[in-house]
Each structure stands twice: as C-alpha cells, then as structure tokens.
Structure 1
Amino acid sequence: MADAPHSFDRAINLTSVDVAPGRARYDGEITADYQNKIGPFGGVGAALLAQGMQQSVGEGPELISITADFLTGMTEDPIEVSAICHRVGKSTEFWAASIKQGDAPSPALRATGVFSKRRDTLEWTEGEMPDAPPPQDCERFQPPRTWGERIEIRPALNTDFFNSDSTRNALWVRFAKDRPLDPIGLVCLADTPTPRVFFTAKRFVPLSTVSMSVYLHASAEDYSNVGADYVFIDAYAGRGGGGFYDQHARIWSRSGKLLATTQQMVWYKAEK
C-alpha cells in the first residue's frame, strides 16, 4: 500500500483546469493543516504560487528566485491559481502567478518567479554558517496554530526573544513527519523565523508580511544530501519604523552549505 501524501504536499496540490503553452490555470483547496491566525501560513501561500509556476514550466528548469506579495488574507474558500510566462530566454524563463478566491476583484497573493537550468560554473560562498547547538540539543518551539504542528522549529541562538538586545537569532527547522526538502518546501520554510519586531517590542504585536523574496542556491545534490533533515536559518532585521521592518535570513544545511537567502518587508503595529 502506498504511503499517504505528506500534509505539505496535500496543501500545495493543484489540479489542472486550463493549460496551454505559456499559461495555465489550476484549482486548489485550503487545507486545515497549515492555518495561521488569518488564513493559511504565509510560507504555504508562497509555496502555492511557486508550485503553480513550477507545474507550468514543466520538467527541466528549476526555480531560482521568487518574490511573493501578500495583498490580503486568504479564507478557507477554494483557490484559483493562474500562471503566465512573460519571457523565455536562452537560459532563463520569467513567470508570474496569482491566487484568487471566489468573486474577489483582485488576487489575494501574487508572485514573480525566475526559472533556469543550473550549469557547472565557478562557485563561492561569502561567510560561514554560525556555530550553534545541534537541533537535538535545542528545545522545540511550537507556534499556537496548526502550521506549528506540521513544521518543527527549534530555536538555537538568542532564543528568548522577549529578553534580547538584538533582532538576530537562529533556528533549526524541518517538516514534521519527514518530508524531503525540495525547492517548493524551501520557499515555505523561508517564512518560519520568529517575527523580528517581537525582539524589539518585547511582546506580541499585530503584523503581516507584505512581500517575501527567496533566492534559491541549492543544487539537486544539496537537496538530496539534506533529505528530511533540519535546515538552519540565521535571521535579523536591518531597520524598523513607520509601520514596516525588513527581515534578512540565510538558510544553511547542517553540513554548512548555503541553500537560500531570503528577505521580507513586514507591516506591524506597535507604539513607541
């Protein structure tokens, strides 16, 4: 008997409705497994957009980067994912995708993505993965939403965000129930760091990610080597003010390979 699909694969499952060269439309469902305070966890929303573009691209080109904008919260209603190709070059393809629900006049989420076939070229990495306790020595932190049950988070550095003089911290993350890492999963996990404003406000405050970019560096060999193991996310904020702050993070394999870099702009509400 075949194993049941992982909860994350169920959450990003899309059914083809209308597919033609350079464009596609899919139907999907919002599952209860990755719900946040309002709608699904943002990482899953970005992953749905990435999945829609990846299915449209087909075999060969890999996701190199994605920028997702969160226009409004999603409901539990079915979704429609549309993808369109803006240009196919010699080595890169440029796509856009959006998610709509019901009769809403505008998308709930939108994204642009770049796809390419990786080549054997000069390679380097600036900086090194920080020293940190291994995940088995770090206590699990579980956000009080269903997505926190499906994604295992173990803070490793600067773990007490209510008593910190810096927004920089690090955590070990992986999908619960042993799901192997791939580009779509990496996009999702990029949204797991604790909101940076908590470190400065010393309390929970209302917030919402408005835009997230993920730049994927991992090769097929890197994904294979990680398997279902933890990845290490080192995150910090550059500046907050005027109701918005940025977040920057690097995602490493346990062996010290840089898998992705990611940035966010986040809206927040906190008095001085």
Structure 2
Amino acid sequence: MLTKSPHLFDDATKVTPGDSCWQGKTSPDYWAFVGPFGGCTAATMLRALMEHPQRAGDPLAMTVNFCAPVAEGAFDLDVRLVKVNRSSQHWAVEMTQGGGEVATLATAVFAERRPSWSHQQATFPAATPFEQARRFPNTPMTWTHQYDFRFVEGEPSFYGSPAASPLDAYSKQWIGDHVPRKIDMLSLMSMSDAFFGRVFLARRELVPFGTVSVTTYFHTSSEELAAENITNILAAADARIFHRSYGDQHGELWSPSGRLLATTTQIAYFKA
C-alpha cells in the first residue's frame, strides 16, 4: 500500500529553490560506506532540474560524475541552463560543499517527446513475478534498507569465502522502495545506481568500491511512466571488464508490463 505521509525518498531528495543556487542536505537513511548513496545524490540533482521553472520536457539523459566524497550535511546546487534548442534543453548542475569545493558534477538533457514510429527491439527478461521472489536480506549499507531487492538470478553472497576464480557478474532482480512508492523519473535515476557493484558478484566479497560516473538514458515520458502505475521495476545488469582498479557496468530497467524504461552505464572504482 502506498503511504500518504512524506516518503523517506522524497525527504532525502528534497531541495530548496533559489535563483541559480539551490540547497539540500544529505540523509542518514540513504547512507553508504563513506557518503550518501550515489543514486540518491543523482536523484536530488535531477529533482532540482525537474522542479526548475525553466524546465521543459522530460529527462532524456543524465550523466553524474562523483568528483569527491559528499560530506554529511548541507550542500549547494548551482543549476545552469546551458543551451535551449527547438525541442531540447541542456543543463549543468554542480554540487558544492565547504566553501565551493565541487563534490558532484552532472549534465542532463531534457526533451519534448513527440509521437513517432516506435519499436522496442530489446526483449523483456524472463523473471519470477515480484510477489513470488524472495526478499534479499539487509546489508551493512543503510541505503539498501530503503529498497526491496528480490533477486531472480545472480544473488550476491557477501559472507562466505571469496571466490577462488572470478564468477559471473550478471544479475537480474526486482527493485522497489521498501515502503512502496510509485515509480517516477526520480526513482529511475536512483535505481539505475542501485545495482550492487559487479565486482562484489565477480569476487563474492565486499571490497572498497565507489561509482565514479553514471549515465542514465530514459526511454519513457513522465506521462507514460505515470500511466504504468507501478511500484517496482525489473533490473538486469552485467559487466564487461575489471582492469587496473576500475570496472564497467551496464544495466536495463523494465516495467512489469515489459516496457524498457531506462538503460544505464557506469564506471566504478574498486580496490582488490
């Protein structure tokens, strides 16, 4: 059942508007090892754009570069409309703390999605329904407690012996808010970084890890997403390479009805 009180996710991504500089603060409910969960940070920056009075259209693509650890507490968001075209807008957002030090840098494209020829070539991954899948237990990271993870394939194991040789880094899972919340664009942005690090699966152990850069592409409009009326998505992710402290990830986010809602790529640091 959807809650009628303010959701923790909306509290965590809340921003206060200004002329060009917006304000927000980190949330202990979405904390990772050494800072806030990157998906929550990205969604906060996207919220500033979604709520900006000059915004037109829906998010089409967003890239977030995590330049430095985000410290606990307040931050500023310097929001700038870089370029306006006939049917698209290009935005830049800088998150600063401590007297102007840049912690996170994002760019985003918004677009008016007009009716056109459509074809979804990607195939919906076969999966046990959300209601029948087993809930994944909580991890030491607080942010994971705010999501309901239900693995269909590639469930990670963090507490056994490390793998003697690399394992498959592919996983397929349902993701929903622990307290159900209707999926919107902010959800997709945050959940596109909610895959556990591929290196955790490949090595079957927790190692120091952090997202360096994530790009998410949105394949639906806000109106279409609202019509889906869903509280969970099916998410599939894999990696191609781990090399010299960095590894990639690519993922897909699907509605239960079989629509591809978003795709994502990222590069992440690891120490192993």
Structure 2 distance, partners of 1:100, 1:60, is 25
Deviation at 1:143, TM superposition (A): 2.6
The letter for the 2-side match of 1:108 is: A
The correspondence of residues 159-174 of structure 1 with structure 2, limited to 5 A, is: 159-160=155-156, 165-174=167-176
Of 49, 60, 67, the match for 1:64: 60
Partner residue in 1 for 2:245: 243
Which sits farther off after the overlay, 227-236 or 83-92? 227-236
Distance 1:60 1:66, change over 3 A: same
Structure 2 distance, partners of 1:244, 1:151, is 26
The correspondence of residues 223-242 of structure 1 with structure 2, limited to 5 A, is: 223-242=225-244
- 1:179-227 CA distances to partner (integer Å, 9 max, x unpaired)? 1111112100111112111122221111110000000012334422443
- State the number of aligned residues: 263
CA contact (8 A) 2:56 2:110 kept: no
Give unpaired runs (5+ residues) of structure 2. Answer: none
The correspondence of residues 51-90 of structure 1 with structure 2, limited to 5 A, is: 51-56=47-52, 58=54, 60-90=56-86
Partner residue in 1 for 2:35: 39
Deviation at 1:250, TM superposition (A): 0.7
Deviation at 1:57, TM superposition (A): 5.2
The correspondence of residues 90-105 of structure 1 with structure 2, limited to 5 A, is: 90-103=86-99, 105=100
Structure 2 distance, partners of 1:128, 1:230, is 18
Structure 1 distance, partners of 2:156, 2:104, is 32
Distance 1:193 1:125, change over 3 A: same
CA contact (8 A) 2:175 2:191 kept: yes
Distance 1:44 1:130, change over 3 A: same
Instruction: Please say if 1:127 is aligned against 2:133.
Output: no
State the SS of the aligned residue for 1:147. helix
Instruction: Please say if 1:153 is aligned against 2:156.
Output: no
Structure 2 distance, partners of 1:57, 1:94, is 14
Deviation at 1:58, TM superposition (A): 4.2
The correspondence of residues 156-195 of structure 1 with structure 2, limited to 5 A, is: 156-160=152-156, 165-195=167-197
Distance 1:71 1:140, change over 3 A: same
Deviation at 1:53, TM superposition (A): 2.1
Identity of aligned residues (%): 29
Partner residue in 1 for 2:16: 15
Partner residue in 1 for 2:205: 203
The letter for the 2-side match of 1:168 is: Y
CA contact (8 A) 1:215 1:260 kept: yes
Of 143, 148, 151, the match for 2:139: 143
Distance 1:80 1:257, change over 3 A: same
- 1:83-134 CA distances to partner (integer Å, 9 max, x unpaired)? 101100001100000111122x531111000001110011111221111111
Which sits farther off after the overlay, 92-101 or 163-172? 163-172
Partner residue in 1 for 2:267: 265
Structure 1 distance, partners of 2:249, 2:54, is 32
CA contact (8 A) 2:156 2:200 kept: no
- 1:49-76 CA distances to partner (integer Å, 9 max, x unpaired)? 1112222254641111100000111111
State the SS of the aligned residue for 2:240. coil
Deviation at 1:228, TM superposition (A): 4.0
